[in-house]
């Protein structure tokens, strides 16, 4: 996965940077996907500072899909640096409740198929 946020945190009221989130394989997508959110969501590894409720803009690329999907989500949880259990620093992004994002959620769930209910550990809650 690639994480390319803006060089510095955006000042209050400024438009946040766009994070390119590239999943080259289904295993990485599975580890980041958050089905517990009604509208879906993804874990985004980043060392940039965010607060709960911050707007975050993703440009999402999925395995075997040349299209890039823009997602305007909100920070729903934060995994800080040096988190217990060696978890990766980053944020959980909750997808918005709109038709465009619903299509992305369905695409992710279709791609993951039955593995979505696996007990295999993920980077999420």
Q: What is the pLDDT along the chain (125 residues), one digit of tens a residue?
A: 444 433 334 444 445 678 999 999 998 998 899 888 889 999 999 999 899 999 999 999 999 899 999 999 999 999 998 888 888 899 999 999 999 999 999 999 998 886 555 555 445 54
pLDDT at 95: 96
| Domains detected in the chain | 18-113 (2.40.10.220)
pTM for the model: 0.77
For the chain, how are helix, strand and coil distributed in percent, rounded to 5?
Answer: 25, 30, 50
pLDDT at 116: 58
């Amino acid at each position: 996965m690639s994480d390319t946020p803006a060089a510095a945190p955006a000042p209050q009221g400024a438009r946040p940077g766009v994070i390119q989130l590239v999943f080259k394989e289904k295993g990485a997508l599975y580890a980041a996907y958050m089905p517990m959110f009604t509208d879906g969501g993804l874990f985004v590894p980043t060392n940039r500072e965010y607060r709960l409720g911050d707007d975050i803009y993703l440009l999402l690329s999925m395995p075997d899909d040349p299209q890039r999907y823009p997602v305007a989500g909100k920070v729903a949880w934060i995994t800080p640096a040096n988190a217990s259990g060696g978890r990766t620093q980053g944020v959980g992004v909750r997808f918005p409740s709109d038709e465009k994002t619903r299509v992305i959620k369905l695409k992710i769930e279709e791609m993951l198929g039955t593995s979505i209910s696996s007990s295999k550990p993920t980077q999420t809650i």
